[in-house]
Amino acid sequence: MNWVSYPAFADRLLSMIGIEVHWIILQYILGLPLMAVIAEIVWLKTKDEKWLKISKTIAKGFIMVFAVGAAMGTAAEFGLVLLWPNLTEIAGKYIYFPLYAEIFAFMMEVVFIYMYYYGWGRLPEKVHVLVGTLALIGAWFSATMIVSVNCYMQAPTGILLGSYAKSFPKLTLYVPNSIVSALNVTALQLAGMDVLGKTGNSVIVAMPSKIVKVIVADAISGKPLSKSILWSVLTSSAKTKLANVSTMAILDAIMLNTVKHIGVYTITFKSPVFVPSVLHAVGSGIVVSAFTVMAFFGYSAYKRKSEHAKLGYKYGVLFSLVSIIYQGFVSGHEMGVAVAEWNREKFAAILYGSPPFVEKIEYTLAGVKNYISYNQIPLWLRPPTIIHWLYYTKITLAVLLGLSTLILAYFLFIKKRYVYSKYFLILPLIAQLVSFLGWAVREIGRKPWTIYGIMDVKTAHTINPPPLWVDFLVEAYFIGLLIVLCYAVYRFLWKAGEVKA
């Protein structure tokens, strides 16, 4: 199935570019403060001025990109509101807490990142390290809040998987008793709904996603119950009373009651893919940062042969090696297991076209015994098969990165030889490409959904999309800003080669 064939391709492309440009920058805010603080701690312990210079150089790197990254994040958020207003309406009503908390995380980032950079020599040494640690916590806190919302979109809390023949996937809902009394429960059960239990004021049901998505679409479009899919399952007496009631009022009552029972403040964090997603996202930022530091100091040593650059290169190689091992064998494995278990259509699309023995190995590694093939998925649930090629391109490049780092570490720590080259500059670009492809697989693989099992792409999209020329103009603007930022970093860091302590 072709990714382009899904609704709103131009606006999806614009959102992808806007968010990815933000993510390219954001990764440095997740990784560089960690490396700067660790280098500063080593300086405090050893009093070796080379470590202080390394820490200051790294700090200058992330302070340069932070302001642009924050601005790009704001632009990306406005894009979500303008292009996908129905998604933001649903998120604002039902899963608002992490979006609200992210505001405070961002303020924490702003305050402590700038305090850290401008506090050199002005704050006591240990206090300065504490400020850097708080800046890092703010960045990770911010990423955790945003990723939690994305996790709910990937695998909502309460999603149930099973046989497609029995109308799975299904969404767990707490339907208020007042609404249950107006429904023909028998008719809903015939349509695939399961009754799971009761609470004091609700009936717990597993509602087929093919019904949920239509209810959501009817509600968003402003239909009264008499024009909604719910009309066919209302009792006769309810039809007389509720004909002109909006479908949105019923949806709100059900969803708000469901969120209340699951946890208003915790619902996104209870997504089954939350923990591996956060670990993998933060790990990606650390990997990209580590390879960039390694490349920068390697290039600086290649050009100037300075002692602090040699030490910085050694630091970058070690950090790159540790972080890519963690990303590949720890967080990457756990992310793969989560996708195989909770995003089974995506996992089947990733394996589409692979030999049967490869499919079996992948599912075995993921610990999933009862697996499906792509052709077993109903047509309306199938993701685009392009993610198969994106995924294996990503894996191939990641393996090449890992082997490159292993070779450099071998020469550096075993052979005691420093290996430098101007071609090191390509390593962070490859790391960024691997990260980009990872997010592409995650987001494209969720199609045809915007929120899996709840809202499809068409329902999330604005009814007043911009013309194509506006999309292309904004995309060019985003890419242009990224190019300018790259040049600024090159001009003030790469070309300079080092920062005077």
pLDDT tens column, 258-301: 999 999 999 999 999 999 999 999 999 999 999 999 999 998 88
The residue whose two tokens read 């890519």 is 324
Domain boundaries, the chain: 3-157+269-494, 160-262
Cβ neighbourhood burial of 418 (10 Å; 0-12, 13-18, 19+) = middle
Q: What is the mean pLDDT of residues 456-464?
A: 95
H helices within 263-383, ranges in order?
A: 274-304, 307-326, 332-342, 344-350, 356-366
Q: What is the pLDDT of residue 498?
A: 46
SS3 453: coil
Q: Is the pLDDT of residue 500 over 70?
A: no
In the block, residue with structure tokens 């499919």: 359
Residue in 317, 292, 329, 287 with CA at minimum distance from that of residue 414: 317
The whole-number pLDDT of residue 1 equals: 59
Nearest to 168 by CA among 192, 197, 196: 192
Mean pLDDT of 50-54: 95
d(CA 110, CA 160): 40
Q: Given pLDDT bands bounded at 50, 70 and 90, which one contains residue 496?
A: low
**Confidence band (pLDDT; 50, 70, 90) for 359?**
confident
Question: Which distant-in-sequence residues (6+ apart) come within 8 Å of 41 by Cβ?
Answer: 129
Mean pLDDT of 403-424: 90
pLDDT value, residue 358: 84
Task: Judge if the upstream peptide bond of residue 272 is cis by omega within 30 degrees of 0.
Answer: no
- Whole-model pTM: value is 0.94
Report residue 456: phi and psi, to 5°: -90, 175
Q: Above 80 in pLDDT, residue 321?
A: yes
Nearest CA among 1, 31, 22 for reference residue 326: 31
* Amino acid symbol at 326: Y
Alpha carbon distance 497, 296 (integer Å) = 8
pLDDT value at 364 more than 90? no
- Going across the sheet that includes 202-208, the strands are 159-160, 170-176, 202-208, 194-198
305-314: average pLDDT: 90
Average confidence (pLDDT) over 208-234: 96
- For 69-81, what is the mean pLDDT? 82
